[in-house]
């Protein structure tokens, strides 16, 4: 019973941090709670908005979360390389899959950083895909 109470308190803390992040950043994503410690985000509208408004041009390495690692079909890169990667994708068509996934991953990296800083050090992992199965 004690473990269950701790789990429920932690779940509430996670949800509160996610909602705080959403409000702080002004995002519109929808959130679906899959279990006490697993959530699905639909970032499509936010990603499209950020791409339309030149998000990549304003990216800085410190916008990313702790231990952010991007892995793609052709390359792997860590947060110090994100600016170079974003420079390369600026030439892609506006809503290519790769571009949208990278912008979505930066949102989730920012969430990781926000959660760590606003929960007393609670860490999380995030994955980004074209749908819930990826």
Q: Note the pLDDT tens digit of each residue in 44-97.
A: 999 888 888 877 666 655 555 445 555 554 444 444 455 555 556 555 566 677
Using an 8 Å Cβ cutoff, are 95 and 51 in contact?
Answer: yes
N residues, the chain: 134
pLDDT at 16: 93
pLDDT at 66: 44
- Asked if pLDDT for residue 134 goes beyond 60, the answer is no
pLDDT at 83: 53
- Residue 28: which residues within 8 A CB-CB, separation 6 or more? 45, 46, 49
Residue range 89-115: mean pLDDT, rounded: 77
In percent, the amount of the chain with pLDDT more than 70 equals 67
Q: What confidence tier does 42 reach under pLDDT thresholds 50, 70, 90?
A: very high
- For the chain, give every domain's residue range: 2-118
pLDDT at 52: 84
**Nearest to 71, CA basis, from 61, 81, 63:** 81
| Higher per-residue pLDDT: 132 or 42 | 42
The predicted model scores a pTM of: 0.75
pLDDT at 130: 76
- Sign of torsion over alpha carbons 18, 21, 27, 90: negative
- Residue 129: which residues within 8 A CB-CB, separation 6 or more? 101
- Sign of torsion over alpha carbons 13, 24, 128, 34: positive
Residue range 114-126: mean pLDDT, rounded: 88
- Asked if pLDDT for residue 20 goes beyond 90, the answer is yes
Tell me the C-alpha distance between 104 and 47, whole Å: 6
């Amino acid at each position: 019973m004690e473990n269950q109470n701790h789990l429920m308190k932690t779940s509430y803390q996670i949800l509160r941090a996610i909602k705080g992040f959403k409000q702080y950043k002004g995002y519109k994503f929808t959130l679906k709670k899959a279990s006490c410690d697993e959530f699905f985000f639909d970032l499509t509208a936010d990603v499209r908005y950020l791409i339309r408004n030149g998000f990549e041009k304003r990216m800085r390495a410190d916008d990313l979360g702790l231990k952010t690692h991007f892995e793609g079909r052709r390359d792997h890169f860590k947060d110090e390389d994100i600016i170079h990667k974003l420079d390369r994708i600026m030439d892609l068509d506006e809503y290519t899959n790769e571009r949208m996934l990278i912008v979505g991953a930066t949102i989730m990296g920012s969430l990781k950083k926000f959660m760590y800083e606003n929960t007393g050090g609670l860490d999380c992992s995030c994955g980004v895909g074209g749908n819930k199965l990826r």
